[in-house]
Amino acid sequence: MEGILPRQAIERLIADGSIDAAAGIEPGQLQPASLDLRLGPVAHRIRASFLPGRGERLAAKVESVRLHTIDLSQGAVLETGCVYLVPLQEQLALPADVAASTNPKSSTGRLDVFTRVIADGAGGFDFAPAGYRGALAVEISPRTFPILVRAGSRLSQIRFRRGDARLTDAALTEVHRETPIATPDARIHDGLNVSIDLMPEAGRPAGYRAKRHTALIDVDKRDGLDMAEFWDPIEAKDGRLILDPNEFYILMSREAVTIPPQYAAEMVPFDPLVGEFRAHYAGFFDPGFGTVPSRAVLEVRSREVPFILEHGQVVARLAYERMAELPDQLYGTDIKSNYQAQSLKLSKHFKAVP
């Protein structure tokens, strides 16, 4: 059946060797509709981002841009403003009818760490074509905070699909009639439109702006960092916020969003029609997200010029896809999930804000 493969189908791909790793796949990598990818033992600091052309192997390009190689076995710091290429532990031998796409994990995006996965010869970032056989690597560029990573750190995730199961607007409208996918209202046009909340409850910030020149963040440690050392809470006077192109913001959607169990969703790439800014880095929403009211948290950076955001302005779109089969685990229900029932929330690395 066409659609996004759930956790149990990914298990079957692992069992038949379609997904493999020298150290094996850990159960904790499996999510309701995706698999976490792990960094390998080395990182290559490279001069600039690059993309092998269609049919070109990644290894053949690395030497021409590599500055030096870093051992990740005991952990290493990846500096802001630098670009790194890290071979991943997982490799693929996909069936002829199964393709894959990748995204940063939610916690990665909320740290302003830009990641893109590269498959040999794919000719584009963040996807592997149906039937792909080969290795994967991830390009990592910390934008605001230096990060400490090690072999096994999980910054990206991969989703597998058969065919094209994206819902049309008519089908998504019917889903909304049966199970509301957004409250207080759902604006559906080329997917679910997501707007910005810049008028929070009294005493609550409208968002957070990242500080510069902070201490490093260990991506594998959670609940340990003081928010005030890394973030400034911000207000939006009269529901308006001017984005500075040199700054990074964490904001939230006006809508509470729901992903029913039969579906998965992805926040689609930047749309220039909604403004000169990027509204997200991490895009996968798993089945079961929002069964307890949950906002979408947005990782926002302006483009080249200052840009005014206003309360209720559409900033992103969620594309819904059918699951190939009902998942045997749901987000926030059957597994411990960091961002169920979230409102404005920083990444899991920070102590909870009262």
* DSSP string covering 297-325: EEEEEE-SS-EEEETT-EEEEEEEEEBSS
Q: What local confidence, expressed as pLDDT, does residue 346 receive? A: 93
Spatial separation of the C-alpha atoms in residues 191 and 295, rounded to whole Å = 17
Q: What local confidence, expressed as pLDDT, does residue 45 receive? A: 97
Region 3-162: CATH code: 2.70.40.10
Bond before 184 cis per omega within 30 degrees: yes
Q: What is the pLDDT of residues 16-35, one digit of tens each?
A: 999 999 999 999 999 999 99
| Local confidence band at 354 (pLDDT 50, 70, 90 cut-offs) | low
| Local confidence band at 318 (pLDDT 50, 70, 90 cut-offs) | very high
Spatial separation of the C-alpha atoms in residues 96 and 18, rounded to whole Å = 11
Q: What local confidence, expressed as pLDDT, does residue 202 receive? A: 87
Q: What is the pLDDT of residues 96-118, one digit of tens each?
A: 999 999 999 999 999 999 999 99
* Stretch among 5-14, 71-80, 87-96, 306-315 having the lowest mean pLDDT: 306-315
Q: What is the pLDDT of residues 265-313, one digit of tens each?
A: 999 855 655 566 677 666 899 999 988 888 999 999 887 889 999 999 9
Q: What local confidence, expressed as pLDDT, does residue 290 receive? A: 86
| Local confidence band at 56 (pLDDT 50, 70, 90 cut-offs) | confident
Q: What local confidence, expressed as pLDDT, does residue 274 receive? A: 57
Residue 124, pLDDT above cutoff 80:
yes
Mean of per-residue pLDDT scores for the chain? 92
* Stretch among 44-53, 83-92, 172-181, 333-342 having the lowest mean pLDDT: 333-342
Spatial separation of the C-alpha atoms in residues 288 and 166, rounded to whole Å = 17
Is-contact 175 263, C-beta < 8 A?
A: yes
Residue 122, pLDDT above cutoff 70:
yes
Among candidates 131, 110, 139, which has minimal Cα distance to 37? Answer: 139
Q: What local confidence, expressed as pLDDT, does residue 275 receive? A: 61
Identify the H or E element spanning 108: helix 106-109
Q: What's the whole-number mean pLDDT along residues 132-137?
A: 95
**269 in helix, strand or coil?**
coil
> What single-letter DSSP state applies at residue 56?
-
Q: Check residues 292 and 152 and name the one with the higher pLDDT.
A: 152
Q: What is the pLDDT of residues 226-247, one digit of tens each?
A: 999 999 999 998 999 999 988 9
Q: What's the whole-number mean pLDDT along residues 163-176?
A: 96
Looking at the domain covering 169-322, what would its CATH class be? Answer: mainly beta
Identify the H or E element spanning 162: strand 154-162
Within the chain, which residue ranges are assigned CATH 2.70.40.10?
A: 3-162, 169-322
> What single-letter DSSP state applies at residue 170?
H
